[in-house]
Amino acid sequence: MRVGFFLGYGPQARYGTEGLGRYLGGLIKGFTSEGIPVTLAAPIWSKKSLEELFIELDIPIDAVNFVFNAKGEPFVWRVYKWLVLKERKRRSGMLALLTKILGEIVIRFTRTSTISFGKYLPLYILLFLLSLILFIPAVILLGIYYLVSKVLNVARGKTSHLKKGSIKEDEDSSFLEVFHVMTNVVVEQLVEVANKQDCCDIWYVPSSFWPQVNDLKKTVVINVPDVVTSVYAGEFANVVGSHKNTSEVKKTIEGGKYFITYSEYIRKSVVIGDFGKRADCVVAVPHVNNSSKPFIATNNERAKDLNTPAEFDAELSQKMLKKMICKSCPPYYAKRMNFEDVHYLFYASQVRPHKNIITLLRAYEYLLRERNINVKLFLTGVVNPNEYSDVTAYIYEHGLEHDVLSFSGVPASTLAALYKCADLVVNPSLYEGGFPFTLGEGMSVGTPSVMARSPFVIETLEVAGLHDATFDPYNWEDLAAKIEYWLPRRQELYDLELPFYQEQEKRTPDVVARDYLKTFEYFLELDSKRA
């Protein structure tokens, strides 16, 4: 069996820093170690990011056959990068050179003029003329740049810096439409190119954003992580383009035949229940266990030889925390933070409506101010004080910006350190595609979790008899009570969750990859029978 991965993500996707990348990497590694030939079809703009991912995960580039839609990136995207993302190496080099030359002229002029003006007069004139020659084109170029960017700003509805990057971008922005069309065209191209090559027997599509994948000629297996925007339609209503994306997801599922989900809940209630797919064509393959340990597990034996007071794992984690940059708090607070001996609750998640972060904030504020529980709350979602979001507003309106700190975009090793040093992991999420990674990420480095009773948690934790470690996600007081109860009983909670975690831990990347391969074989057989 030859397996193909189909990735149609837009140019903004960064595989190396996101969970998605690690998930894909784990599967690719697992498949190649089983001797399965792997093809990876992706838009050309993902090339660099995928290469970075392969380096980070130590996967040889030649272990995989790459298929790209074209040799070069689309013209529209290149223009956008040049003008908006400012990926212009040449420009900065030119400007730097110009500044350097002008600076040198000024310095030399100053130096020589203090010695003898008359003697160097012809030189001054020459230098002056030279600087004019360099200066005038620079002014003209800057003028052109200014005009072009003005026109472009108007074209994409960027009229105020306050809205830069905000989710409240102009809905009818022609720019977004162009972006959407561009991505669609590229995915269509990619399907065409993939169909021309006999590179695999089965295509695995790890997301359901691209209806075009149903035109792929081989057996296509679509992953349905969730349809969260459909469940939380009201909360996502203010996200530009969310309805279009949801519609694409629905189209993809509607047109698909074979599906993989991360949980029984999504399998039954969404793919079979909402979309009426055949039960035998949908298989739930639970997540891999995401262990944080490999990132921070040091040789602690050496610490003993040196009579070092702190264990090396903890010292390493503290070192990593020290390097983090906090962008959620006022700038003055981000300087010279000392993390040693700071106690905190931790929730690693993006800021999304269904993540239920406001409930966590309510509970936290109550614990801090009314229950005198002296801990901080660390998050990893983007909380930008210059942009409006419900979470940011809550934090600042309630004066919590010095205690609720968010460290976004941290690398996997720092994330592991954050888990290691946390007092308690809290997951208030209402909805996930599968069992939340946060429990394993924390437990692997000794930090237990309290978790919201979302359908997937009920499916697993509750069944495992860990009701006491869960809370009603719609009741912040229940959440607060659980945190208050377990904080001083951290070890007890760890011991309670350990048997469950030990089972979870068995889902290593190899095991999960084998599960996928078995599922693919099953679908291939089914497909041949159906054909």
Partner 1 sequence: MTKRVLWLSNETWTRECEVPQIIEAGYEVFCPKVCGYGLGESNLSVDYTYDEGLSIPEEDLEYLNKENLYGKVSQHTWEIINKYFGMVFCPPDADIIREYVHLYNGIIVLRFLGDEEGLTCTERLVADCGYHLLYEIGRIKDRFYFAYPNDTYMKDECDLLRGRGLYLPLPLVDAENSDDKTQIILNCPNLSIDAKANRQFQMFLANMSDPFAVYGEQVVPYQHHEDLILGGEYEHMQNAGVSIDLGLGSTLITEPWAQALYRGIPLLYTKDSCAYPLLKEDGPGYCDSVKTLISKARKIHNGDRGLKAKIVRHQADVLSLSEYSVFTEAWKDFFARIEYTAAFLENAMPRNKKIGIILTKAYKGGVLEFTKRFIRALQNEIVKNGAPVELVFAHIDDESYDLNDTFAALRESGIAIRTIRLREMKVTEVNRMLSMAGYLPKKFHGIKDIPTGIVYDDGIHMLMDCDYLINMTDRSGSYQPILPVYPFAVVTHDFIDRYSPIGENFSKIKSSDDDDDENQKKTKKQIAEEKKFAEENHEEIVGQFIRYRREIGPNIINARNADRVFVTSDPGKTDAIQFAMVSKDNVVKLPLLYDLIATKAEFRKNSKDNDKKYFLWVSNVSKHKNHINALKAISEYYRKGGTLKCIMIGAFTQYFDPDSEFKDPFNEDIMNYMLSVRKLVSENDKLKDNIDFMGYQTEELYRKLIQDAAFVIHPGFGDNGNGGAIDAACFGVPTLSNDYPAMQYLSDYANIDCQFTDFNDADKASDELIWMEQHFPEKRKKLNYDKIKEHAADNTEEELYNAVSENIGFRTRLLV
CB 102 to partner 1: min, Å: 21
Interacting residue with partner 1 among 114, 116, 307, 528 (CB under 8 A):
307
Backbone Cα Rg of the chain: 27
Do the Cβ atoms of 59 and 25 come closer than 8 Å? yes
Binding mask 401-440 for partner 1 (x = CB under 8 A): -xx-------x-x---------------------------
Whole-angstrom distance, CA of residue 277 vs CA of residue 220: 15
Q: Provide the 8-state DSSP code for 289.
A: P
CB 344 to partner 1: min, Å: 9
- What are 143's two structure tokens? 């003028």
For residue 337, state whether it binds partner 1 (rule: CB under 8 A): yes
Within 10 Å of residue 254's Cβ, how many Cβ atoms? 12
- Phi then psi for residue 520, to 5 deg, are -60, -45
Interacting residue with partner 1 among 188, 235, 264, 315 (CB under 8 A):
315
For residue 99, state whether it binds partner 1 (rule: CB under 8 A): no
* Residue closest to 154 by CA, chosen among 175, 177, 184, 176: 175
For residue 375, state whether it binds partner 1 (rule: CB under 8 A): yes
Contacts of 20 (CB under 8 A, 6+ apart): 13, 206, 207
SS3 92: helix
User: Which lies closer to partner 1 via its Cβ, residue 193 or residue 487?
Assistant: 487
Do the Cβ atoms of 378 and 361 come closer than 8 Å? no
For residue 278, state whether it binds partner 1 (rule: CB under 8 A): no
Q: Which stretch binds partner 1 (CB under 8 A): 122-130, 276-284, 313-321, 469-477?
A: 313-321
SS3 122: helix
Q: Which stretch binds partner 1 (CB under 8 A): 158-166, 198-206, 253-261, 280-288?
A: 158-166
- Phi then psi for residue 150, to 5 deg, are -60, -50
User: Which lies closer to partner 1 via its Cβ, residue 119 or residue 335?
Assistant: 335
User: Which lies closer to partner 1 via its Cβ, residue 127 or residue 303?
Assistant: 303
SS3 472: coil
CB 155 to partner 1: min, Å: 16
Contacts of 301 (CB under 8 A, 6+ apart): none
Interacting residue with partner 1 among 48, 100, 111, 319 (CB under 8 A):
319
Binding mask 31-60 for partner 1 (x = CB under 8 A): ------------------------xx-x--
Binding site for partner 1 (CB under 8 A): 55-56, 58, 159-163, 168, 294-299, 302-303, 305-309, 312, 315-316, 319-320, 330-333, 335-343, 368-370, 372, 374-376, 385-386, 388, 392-393, 396-400, 402-403, 411, 413
